[in-house]
Amino acid sequence: MRGPHSRPQCTPAHQAGALLLVAVTSLLTRLLSAPAPPPPFPTPGPRLSAAADHLRVYVYAEDEVDGLRALLRGRDGSVSAATCLKGQWGTQVKIHQLLLRSRYRTLDKDEAHLFFVPSYVKCVRMTGGLTDKEINQTYVKVLGQMPYFRRSGGRDHIFVFPSGAGAHLFRSWATFLNRSIILTPEGDRTDKRGISAFNTWKDIIIPGNVDDSMVKPDARAVQPIPLMKRKYLANFLGRAQGKVGRLKLVELAKQYPDKLESPELKLSGPDKLGRVDYFKHLRNAKFCLAPRGESSWTLRFYESFFVECVPVLLSDEVELPFQNVIDYTEISIKWPSSKIGPELFQYLESIPEERIEEMLARGREVRCMWVYAQDTEPCSAMTAIMWELQRKVRRFHQSAETFWLHNRSIVNRDLVEFQQWGTPVPLP
């Protein structure tokens, strides 16, 4: 027997326990030294915490990669950023410009967690600056010159596609961008495409671009009016475009002219409806109907919050932004598009005024998240996007073309270290 002052024996069990303790301590030390995860969104309010301070985003310059300028300005450089800033696709310009001034921007590729590839291709295409074929060829050319894109297989590269077509504007997206982070207002497109370019695991739904004159808190071009003074129960301000749901609304407006306003919108000529007049019409109803058009997302959903009418989504496949912080049942209604008819009006008329006021009040709280302002703002679309991007950051970068050695160096198939990779880098 051991005496009262003798040392305990070190048994195999003790040794195993000690080794386990060392391993656990080492693991915890590594985890605690890793970049902090983004702080959670406060709930239920819309005040968004900024992304963790360690996040760094590199923004490619338009003259840095041969061909990138064409994706921004067109083949002859004649498309201006100011032109592309206007309209519902202006997010492609706003996100780029805000990232250039972002506190998370870095000029050092080696310290970047994410890489932003600017492009105004929707605008450039609409203005004739590039054809679909040229867009595809130019993207492939640009990506082929980006070693950092090749290093991660595009996993840490961000692209904005601001229209209903989404990433399909780049015809070969499935080959080149199937791992990249795509910012888009558009979700599932399998109703019209063989495959959807939106992936809920890696991509981010962003708000549409509401006219700047309507998002200024103290100087909105059009102010809301009291519910009791609104002339209509609901309105639909948009073109029919031959879409079933929209055509139904146009017909219902003829049957129930005292309940539903749906004027024929003139996009040109002397009777063209100006932006101020448009919002004056929009504010004159308790409910703003937002049916799908060419695709499932609709700018009218976001516009309705700034004239304070309750948006009624009539788009079954629609995806909405920032669903991890916003409860859309508090601020909007989603109604089956197959049931667009008199029963919709009966339902809307049954909603108590008190409930409408509650939804409008909650909408006033969260609409700051539709505003493209600097990410230093406590509540803005960019603050929310940066928070979402932080969740996409990976500690380690790899692809089918990256390999690593015992000294932690990254090499390609020819065992050339990453820092020595030349351009162009061949892509599949």
Distance CA 112, CA 171 (A): 28
111 and 231 assigned to the same domain: no
Q: Which of 424, 392, 400, 384 is nearest to 51 (CA)?
A: 384
201 and 74 assigned to the same domain: yes
179 and 223 assigned to the same domain: no
218 and 196 assigned to the same domain: no
Please report whether residue 141 resides in a domain. Answer: yes
Please report whether residue 21 resides in a domain. Answer: no
Please report whether residue 51 resides in a domain. Answer: no
Number of domains in the chain: 2
List, for residues 76-88, the tens digit of each pLDDT value: 999 999 999 988 8
Parent domain of 108: 57-209+383-420
Tell whether the model's pLDDT for residue 134 goes beyond 80. Answer: yes
184 and 323 assigned to the same domain: no
SS3 33: helix
Check residues 54 and 127 and name the one with the higher pLDDT: 127
Please report whether residue 14 resides in a domain. Answer: no
Which of the four pLDDT bands, split at 50, 70 and 90, describes residue 424?
low
335 and 272 assigned to the same domain: yes
**% of the chain with per-residue pLDDT over 70:** 84
Residues 6 or more apart in contact with residue 272 via CB below 8 angstroms: 266
pTM of the predicted model as reported, rounded to 2 decimal places: 0.85
Backbone dihedral region for residue 177 (phi beyond 0: left; psi -120 to 50: alpha; all else: beta) = alpha
Check residues 199 and 287 and name the one with the higher pLDDT: 287
Q: What are phi and psi of 237, to 5 degrees?
A: -110, 95
Distance CA 165, CA 184 (A): 9
Please report whether residue 92 resides in a domain. Answer: yes
List, for residues 371-408, the tens digit of each pLDDT value: 999 999 989 999 999 999 998 998 888 888 899 999 99
Q: What are phi and psi of 333, to 5 degrees?
A: -125, 140
224 and 246 assigned to the same domain: yes
Distance CA 22, CA 16 (A): 10
pLDDT average, residue stretch 240-247: 88
238 and 118 assigned to the same domain: no
Distance CA 132, CA 125 (A): 7
Structure tokens belonging to residue 245: 């749901």
Residue 241: count of CB within 10 angstroms of its CB: 11
DSSP classification of residue 312? E
357 and 404 assigned to the same domain: no
361 and 341 assigned to the same domain: yes
How do beta strands 403-404 and 410-411 pair? antiparallel
223 and 201 assigned to the same domain: no
Please report whether residue 6 resides in a domain. Answer: no
User: Are the beta carbons of 284 and 235 closer than 8 angstroms?
Assistant: yes
Please report whether residue 111 resides in a domain. Answer: yes
Q: What is the full DSSP assignment across 109-166?
A: GGG-SEEE----HHHHHHTTSS-HHHHHHHHHHHHTT-HHHHHHTTTTEEEE--STTG
Q: Supply the mean pLDDT for the chain.
A: 86
Which of the four pLDDT bands, split at 50, 70 and 90, describes residue 24?
very low
pLDDT at 371: 96
